[in-house]
Structure 1
Amino acid sequence: MPVHKLDQMSEAEGPLLREMFEARKRVFVDMLKWDVPVLAGTWELDHFDDEQATYIIIGDGRGGHLASARLLKTTRPHLLDQLYPMLVEGPIPTGPDTREITRFCIDPRQRAPERRQARDMLVSALAEHALAAGIARYTGVAEIGWYNQIAAFGWDCEALGTPMVLGGRMLAAMIIAIDEHTPARLHANGIWAETGTEPGTPPPAFHRPEQRA
């Protein structure tokens, strides 16, 4: 399972990115019924999918998408401060060493063991990326059932406030501290998966689907 780290959307990775946006539509719109933008009835993407976003994508080696997550800088507008500040008790964690995890997506077309493997590799890739990029903490928002799973992975995760029902869903904001002990903690809980990812240089800009001929 190749791991792709994209600091910008690249032309070369265009097919894989389209697969990711299609998978996000299947998960967040078709399955979870989120009220989010859908482009051409096919791709789920919003205004946060811009040149500032970073994507961690687990591929199948044939250009297919298995799992992915989007990372947003917290020094600019992001979901927690724009849409869910009420979930945080106290200041919203921000800074150059803090990223927000959004659109954590496991492709539903996989069998259960394959989804588990893709999930573990994505979590491990997120930890590896943080350690390589100087990211000390992740923030995020999740439905309470998914939050409980994330908190049980073994890394240092805690709620930022009291969960609340918003839009018919019980949501919780979280913060995940990342340090040199995180891989061992994940490994102890049976989550860690070696990714073999090497830091790369940012690829050239990718044109969003609505901009392509």
Structure 2
Amino acid sequence: MYLTTLSGAEGVSDGLLATMFEARKRIFVDLLGWDVPVVAGRFEVDQFDDPHAVYLILSDESGQHLGSARLLETDRPHILDTLFPELCENAVPTGPTIREITRFSLDPRQNARQRRHVRDTLVFALADHALANGVEVYTGVAGISWLQQILAFGWQCEPLGLLRENGRTLLGALRIAITPETPTLLARAGLVCEPCVPSQPIRCAA
């Protein structure tokens, strides 16, 4: 497994980015039925896929997407403040040390065991990226089933407000504090960081 960190979307036809955008289309459009933009019938790309976005992408030896997450700066327009500010009981958390996790994706062509391994490794990668880059807080928006998983990961995570109906599901916003203890908390909760070749080191707690 390989971890690649990319800053800014320079075009959906660019190798690893293309496999990520294709996977996002399979997940969010084909599987979940989201009403989001699709480019050339193949790529799920929205207005937040701009030069300021950062992508953490896990891939196999052939360069095929296994899992990914997009990070957005919160002192710029992002999903929580632009589309779902009502999910926050108080002001939407923003600032230079806060990033929003969006489009957390696990390629559906994997079986459940493989997706679990990729999920855990990607969560560790998010924690490590934050620690290496001065990010102290992550925020995010999630449906109820995914929100319950995030809250159970063992890190310091809290809802930002009450759940609200959105179509056929309930949505909630959350805040995740990242500290040097976060990787250990994840491991204590049962998450396992799989061996991989990173472009930045992933801190795997014992």
User: Shorter-chain-normalised TM-score: which range?
Assistant: over 0.9
How is 1:125-164 mapped onto 2 (pairs within 5 angstroms)? 125-164=125-164
Q: Distance in 2 between matches of 1:104 and 1:197?
A: 18
Is the 8 Å Cα contact of residues 124 and 195 (structure 1) preserved in structure 2? no
Q: TM-score, length-normalised on structure 1?
A: 0.90
Q: Distance in 1 between matches of 2:196 and 2:98?
A: 22
RMSD: 1.6
Q: Distance in 2 between matches of 1:7 and 1:139?
A: 19
How is 1:26-175 mapped onto 2 (pairs within 5 angstroms)? 26-175=26-175
User: Once the 2 structures are TM-superposed, how far is the Cα of residue 14 of structure 1 from its aligned partner?
Assistant: 1.7
| Unaligned segments of structure 2, at least 5 residues | 202-206
Aligned position for 1:203: none
Is the 8 Å Cα contact of residues 125 and 195 (structure 1) preserved in structure 2? no
User: Once the 2 structures are TM-superposed, how far is the Cα of residue 199 of structure 1 from its aligned partner?
Assistant: 3.6
Q: Distance in 2 between matches of 1:30 and 1:166?
A: 18
Aligned residue for 2:35, secondary structure, equals coil
User: Once the 2 structures are TM-superposed, how far is the Cα of residue 8 of structure 1 from its aligned partner?
Assistant: 2.5
Q: Write the deviation string for residues 37-62 of structure 1: whole angstroms up to 9, x where unpaired.
A: 01111000111101000000001121
Q: What percent identity do the matched residue pairs reach?
A: 53
Aligned residue for 1:184, secondary structure, equals helix
Is the 8 Å Cα contact of residues 55 and 69 (structure 1) preserved in structure 2? yes
Q: Write the deviation string for residues 64-85 of structure 1: whole angstroms up to 9, x where unpaired.
A: 0000000000000000000000
Aligned residue for 1:72, secondary structure, equals strand
Aligned position for 2:204: none
Q: Distance in 1 between matches of 2:16 and 2:192?
A: 24
Q: Distance in 2 between matches of 1:33 and 1:63?
A: 26
Q: Distance in 2 between matches of 1:102 and 1:198?
A: 21
Aligned position for 1:205: none
| Unaligned segments of structure 1, at least 5 residues | 201-213
Indicate how the Cα distance of structure 1 residues 51 and 45 shifts in structure 2: closer, same or farther if over 3 A, else same. same
Q: TM-score, length-normalised on structure 2?
A: 0.92
User: Once the 2 structures are TM-superposed, how far is the Cα of residue 168 of structure 1 from its aligned partner?
Assistant: 2.9
Q: What amino acid is the match of 1:144?
A: I
Is the 8 Å Cα contact of residues 8 and 49 (structure 2) preserved in structure 1? no
User: Once the 2 structures are TM-superposed, how far is the Cα of residue 10 of structure 1 from its aligned partner?
Assistant: 5.5
Is the 8 Å Cα contact of residues 4 and 199 (structure 2) preserved in structure 1? no
Q: Distance in 2 between matches of 1:117 and 1:149?
A: 14
Aligned position for 2:19: 19
Aligned residue for 1:135, secondary structure, equals coil
User: Once the 2 structures are TM-superposed, how far is the Cα of residue 198 of structure 1 from its aligned partner?
Assistant: 4.6
The count of corresponding residues between Structure 1 and Structure 2 is 199
Aligned residue for 2:27, secondary structure, equals helix
Query: Which protein, 1 or 2, shows the higher relative CO under an 8 Å CA cutoff with sep ≥ 6?
Result: 1
Aligned residue for 2:185, secondary structure, equals helix
